[in-house]
Amino acid sequence: MKNKNPWERTKKDWMDNQPAGERNAWIKAITKSVGVSSKATSIRGKSKYQKAARKAAKQFDEMFDNKHKKIVQQALVSGKVVPVEVLIDYPDLII
């Protein structure tokens, strides 16, 4: 799978291989910006952190997915062959 171009990878493969370091940095920055700490010791503090971390992870995943969708769209526009299994992930790109 690593040898495939991004537009040749399914959404699942793309998401499964997202850079963990970037995702973790995003989560850390977002949780810090809303004033919650991963080092919280109280149950309430831990709960607030977990909620903020889940929200930040979801935001990152959506951004990462949108990036893949744009790559697939660019490939289509430039006439590259995009596998059917990739197009199934983004039916709105099929004209």
pLDDT per residue as tens digits for the range 17-57? 888 889 999 999 999 898 888 887 888 888 999 999 999 99
Mean pLDDT score of the chain: 91
Domain of 71, in residue numbers? 6-93
**% residues pLDDT > 90 (the chain):** 65
Residue 1 lies in a domain: no
How many domains in the chain? 1
Q: What angle do CA 24, 60, 38 make, to 5 degrees?
A: 35
SS3 93: helix
Residue 64 lies in a domain: yes
For 26-70, what is the HEC assignment?
HHHHHHHHCCCCCCCCCHHHHHHHHHHHHHHHHHHHHHHHHHHHH
Residue 34 lies in a domain: yes
Put simply, whether the predicted model's pTM sits higher than 0.85 gets the answer no
Residue 86 lies in a domain: yes
| Residue 2: per-residue pLDDT | 59
Residue 84 lies in a domain: yes
